[in-house]
Amino acid sequence: MYLPRSLISNLYLHLQRTNHPLSPPVLILVALEPDALCGCRILTQLLKRDYIPHKIQPIAGYSDLEKAGRNVIHPMMESQGGSGGVVVCLGVGGLVDLGGLLGIDTDEDEIRYGGVEVWVIDARRPWNLGNVYGGHPQIQPTADGTGAAKPPRVEGGQIQRDYKPGKGGIIVFDDGDIETDLEKERDAYLALVDMPEVEENDEDSDGSETEGEDDRPAEPHPGQKRKSWSDRDDEDGSEDEDDRPRQRRRSNSSSPIPDSPTRPKQRGLISLNGPPKSSSAVSRSVSPSPSEAPKGSSARTLRRRLLKLRRKNELILQEYYSLGASYSEPISSMMYSLASALGRTDNDLLWMTIVGVTSMELYGRSSIGVAVSSRKSTSSSAGWLGNRGSRTRQLLRDEVRRHNPPELADSGYNSNRNMFPENCGIIPTTARSPTDTSIRLSPEPKFLLIRHWSLYDSMLHSPYLSARLHIWSDSGRKRLHKLLAKMGVSLVQCKQSYTHMDMELKRGLRTKLLKYSEMYGLDDLVPSADTDGKDRGGTKEGWGFVRSWGWRATLSAQDVGVVVGAILEVGRQAANTIQGASWDRGPENKELSDEDGTLEGEEWVGRFWDAYDALEKIEELKAALPTAQHLHRAILRTGTSLIEKRQIRHLRAFRMCIVKDGPDVALFTHPAALTKLALWVGGAIAEQEKESKGKLGHGGRGTPLVVAGLNENRGVYVIIGTGGGGGGTMGFGDKTAAKEKKEKQEVKAKARELKRQNKEKIRLEKKEARRKLAGDDEDEDDETESEGSDSSSDEDDEYDEASQVNGFGRNKFGNAFQEVVEETNARVRIDSFEHCVVEVKKEDLSGFLESLSMKAVVG
């Protein structure tokens, strides 16, 4: 079931009212990523203010989530001797059946969920519809057995205003997409849940359909144990040669494409999460019942209609899951909306939200999945989340103005507020006073860590400049030097710390960048809004966010996002080994087997707490700056090496490169670090395509990229698949796609009109024939069925067309990975919440990539 955006505070207010000293602590499961980390910070601040006990548990992947369900959440159930409670999932589990994975939705329990209420806040899409429209607690009969208890106020999966929490269940926090965009999927899901069981056989399918469900191999359930490499090898060894492919397929249980819901207890990856709904809960169901059947209809005809309707609804759900990955509103933004509804917003919570939202852009997470941004960020229909992202950033800018009004009493600025450095085009590097902790809007250029590096290094390591100036080549370096020379900045000056540069150079830097950037195709290198320095309620589109901690530090939101991400990906202790020490994990870990990634996951969890502390303690954040700089130096070195040595191969569906040697290989065993490298390389490829061909490949969507990083300790390759960028974002599309869509609609409209005319003519002819053949029911059944078939065909065509437009340009690597696993013998581990990330055994890489090259990886 899902909680509408308008009722976002209802569950928290109920928790606040019912909390007492003996209440079990709220369990918060957090993904190891900056956005989820910031959302956790916001939530814990709210809980602390209300004296609600809570416990935080970092989750590295699906295996960790399953372990937490088995060891922590399942014992909380009332049927297991626990007292229930609330579990909050931040960035974990939105794509899988949480009830089965956590072990709280089992057929053995008399009371499903056992008082355990799971809140799901996730930015990844698609949703698992079993969580969205299922997840209801069991409705128990009354004590006298004469009737049923009053069901909770949930209609069509949507929680109503008078809903009473406490019985448990899975509740998805809707950011607005479920209520507005998934109406067709909701109707299909509820119709399948309410549909009676019908056996499908060869006679009913007339030889044109697939075999019945009983003849198909059982699909894996997302709640089953994810097996280690050694477990899989043992199983494969115990089977015959002919059984190996099936056994390997069954061992991979994190499919991003769930099965359709069915009435029997044999559940696929979408769980029914409860018995058939009452008539009020499934008022939109359109499945025919025998009492509603037309007079004279045979049982065989009814069965065929029901099977046709079921296939149609299953197709709708399959199309939804096949659209590909995408991202919606960030977790931190959702948590800030909760704080705003409670009237608890302040500068600290606002800053956490800004950092979380900014981090989404750093990892290429957009409405077309993980992809390279190859368009101007100021375009309303492209960039991070398209128009929705622009609205989110504008709301954050408005919140900054609301919480940080100009203080006219500040010394030196009381005469004219436009004298503030940021309003004069200067990047602020210091606080206004020793006690200044305000958040300001700043005209941030697309440089990297400029306040903590030299101007030259900041420009050199900027992914934006690297792609557009071809920094990896000698000519690209010369181009950068020429740009600095035209701006009147010598190499000696630009290679010293930016904070110690001549003030006159810093004052004129923005003006010079605006003047010369267009000559090098750097149109959006610096924001162009409000260039006159006057902020008269202007939008300041493209401006960044900066916060000061007195004289101790001044950092931008991007700086904090880069540093926190580096702590999660590399580790704070890495700063001590940057000057040439080895990156080995230590002798104690070498003696232990880590084939299933257990030790690696524990190491990542330790980094989570370092990053969690750094968000609040500015000194720890500053201490991790060298780690972030080292990571981005490694990205520049490795990316340059891949391009110069021509190690990027062009396969049928994507480009591919492998990182298996060099001094920085161990850095890229973390999926997020490998993602940053892939985005750097993908941006370079996109710019090369535009310069050589004048446009992006793959129909304007850019060429997808697969990057594999060798993890020598575990003998596996970590693989990340990124979209090529470009193309239209979800719901908008580019001009070409919109034009093609309009033309298709016109053609289909003419075809449908002609079909209606022919059907009317045929109907009149059949009506005349029925008068002569009175009593022949079969003809009447066939006519009704034929009309229904034509109608459903029209509807299917319309849905297919809408699906193609909505899914244009999306990252489909998660679907492609799963298809390869089902078709090959490759030993694969899909444990990351990012489904475009997969681990493949070292020996199976070539076969895996060969099969992957035949798949559709971008919509």
Q: What is residue 184's three-state secondary structure?
A: helix
Q: Kindly provide the residue ranges of all beta strands, DSSP E only, lying in 757-836, ordered along the sequence.
A: 828-829
210 pLDDT band (50/70/90 cuts)? very low
Domain boundaries defined on the chain: 2-194, 327-608, 619-730+810-852, 735-794
**Beta strands at 85-90 and 116-121: parallel, antiparallel or unpaired:** parallel
Cα distance between residue 257 and residue 814, in whole Å: 9
Helices first, then strands: H and E counts in the chain: 30, 21
Helix boundaries (H) for 211-329? 229-238, 244-250, 299-322
What CA–CA distance (Å, rounded) separates 193 from 206?
Answer: 25
What is each CA distance from 139 to 73, 158, 225, 272, 341, in whole angstroms? 21, 17, 29, 14, 31
The whole-angstrom separation of Cα 793 and Cα 171 is: 35
**Listed residue (52, 48, 43) closest to 89, CA to CA:** 43
Long-range contacts at 429-437 (CB < 8 A, ≥ 24 apart): 429/498, 429/499, 429/554, 430/548, 430/551, 430/554, 431/548, 431/549, 431/550, 431/551, 431/554, 432/407, 432/548, 433/550, 434/550, 434/551, 435/550, 436/548, 436/550, 437/347, 437/547, 437/548, 437/549, 437/550
Question: Could you say which of 2.60.120, 3.30.450, 3.40.50, 3.30.379 is the CATH number of the domain covering 2-194?
Answer: 3.40.50
The distance of Cα 468 from the centroid of its chain, to the nearest Å, equals 27
The CA distance from 185 to 127, in Å, is 11
Report residue 99: phi and psi, to 5°. Answer: -60, -45
The pairing of strands 169-173 and 116-121 is parallel
pLDDT band at 279 (very low <50, low <70, confident <90, very high): very low
Q: Say if residues 238 and 172 touch (Cβ distance below 8 Å).
A: no
Sequence length of the chain is 859
pLDDT at 590: 41
Q: Where does the pLDDT of residue 413 fall: very low under 50, low under 70, confident under 90, or very high at 90 and above?
A: very low
pTM of the complete model: 0.81
Write down the pLDDT at residue 171. Answer: 95
Give dist(CA 151, CA 169) in Å, integer: 13
Beta carbons within 10 angstroms of residue 610's beta carbon: 17
pLDDT averaged over every residue in the chain: 77
Q: How far apart are the first and last CA of the chain?
A: 29
Sequence-distant (6+) residues with CB within 8 A of 673 are: 569, 570, 631, 667
Q: Cα separation of 453 and 456, whole Å?
A: 8
In the chain, what percentage of residues exceed pLDDT 90?
Answer: 42
Distance of CA 591 to the CA centre of its chain: 36
- The answer to whether 27 touches 92, Cβ cutoff 8 Å, is no
Position 758 scores a pLDDT of 82
pLDDT at 628: 95
Q: Would you place residue 670 in the very low, low, confident or very high pLDDT band (cuts 50, 70, 90)?
A: very high
Q: What contacts 159, CB < 8 A, 6 or more positions away? A: 1, 2, 3, 4, 7, 10, 153, 171
Share of the chain above pLDDT 70, in %: 71
CA distance 637 to 654: 23
pLDDT classification of 316: cutoffs 50, 70, 90: very high
Pick the closest to residue 104 from 116, 96, 93 (CA basis). Answer: 116
Rounded to whole angstroms, the Cα distance separating 101 from 725 reads 33
Q: What is the C-alpha separation between 140 and 79, in angstroms, rounded?
A: 14
Query: Is pLDDT at 708 greater than 90 in this prediction?
Result: yes
Pair 60, 30: CB distance under 8 Å: no
* pLDDT tens per residue across span 691-703: 776 655 555 556 8
What letter would DSSP give residue 410? S
CB neighbour class for 576 (10 Å; exposed up to 12, middle 13-18, buried from 19): exposed
Contact status, residue 85 vs residue 28, Cβ threshold 8 Å: no
Give the pairing of strands 124-125 and 116-121.
Answer: unpaired
The residue assigned the tokens 């010293």 is: 496
Task: Report, in angstroms and rounded to the nearest whole number, the Rg of the chain calculated over CA atoms.
Answer: 29
pLDDT tens for residues 584-597?
A: 444 344 444 567 77
Of 457, 427, 459, 431, which is closest to residue 446 (Cα–Cα)? 459
More confident residue, 631 or 603: 631
Question: Is the pLDDT assigned to residue 293 strictly greater than 70?
Answer: no
CA dist 417 to 400, 403, 437, 535, 616, Å? 16, 17, 18, 10, 30
C-alpha distance from residue 521 to each of 482, 514, 515, 792 (Å): 14, 11, 12, 50
Q: State the CB neighbour count (10 A cutoff) for residue 140.
A: 11
Instruction: Give the rounded distance of the alpha carbon of 685 from its chain centre.
Output: 24
What pLDDT does 197 receive?
A: 77
Element (H, E) at 468: helix 463-469
State CA 162 to chain mean position distance: 31
Q: State the sign of the Cα–Cα–Cα–Cα dihedral 429, 433, 436, 438.
A: negative
Instruction: Give the Cα separation of 641 and 662 in Å (integer).
Output: 9
Using pLDDT thresholds of 50, 70 and 90, give the confidence band for residue 529.
low
Q: What is the mean pLDDT of residues 543-572?
A: 93
Q: How far is CA 555 from the centre of its chain?
A: 27
- For residue 556, what pLDDT is reported? 94
Report how far residue 850's alpha carbon sits from residue 654's, in angstroms, rounded to the nearest whole number: 11
Question: Which secondary-structure segment (H or E) carries 628?
Answer: helix 625-644
- Exposure string of 658-682, with b = 16+ CB inside 10 Å and e = fewer, is bbeeeebbbbbbbbbbbbbbbbbbb
Q: Are strands 828-829 and 837-841 parallel, antiparallel or unpaired?
A: antiparallel
Least confident of 210-214, 381-385, 519-523, 773-777: 210-214
The least confident of 99-108, 239-248, 437-446, 755-764 is: 239-248
Determine the residue type at 587: P
- Segment 348-363, tens digit of pLDDT: 999 999 999 999 989 9
Does the structure show a pLDDT above 50 at 793? Answer: no
Q: Which long-range contacts (CB under 8 A, 24 or more apart) does 427-431 make?
A: 427/451, 427/506, 427/509, 427/510, 428/546, 428/548, 428/554, 429/498, 429/499, 429/554, 430/548, 430/551, 430/554, 431/548, 431/549, 431/550, 431/551, 431/554
Residue 115 clears pLDDT 50, i.e. is over it: yes
pLDDT tops 60 at residue 24 = yes
| DSSP secondary structure code for residue 140 in this structure | P
Instruction: Lowest mean pLDDT of 33-47, 95-109, 418-432, name the range.
Output: 418-432
Instruction: Give pLDDT tens digits for 469-524.
Output: 999 999 999 999 999 999 888 888 889 898 888 888 888 888 888 888 888 888 88
Coil vs helix vs strand at 579: coil
- Residue among 33, 37, 36 at smallest CA distance from 615: 37
Query: Residue 282's pLDDT band (boundaries 50, 70, 90)?
Result: very low
Strands ordered across the beta sheet of 544-548: 439-442, 544-548, 554-556
Q: Rank 292-301, 327-336, 517-526 by mean pLDDT and report only the highest.
A: 327-336
φ and ψ at residue 144, rounded to 5 degrees:
-80, -5
Q: Mean pLDDT throughout 629-635?
A: 95
Higher pLDDT, residue 726 or 682: 682
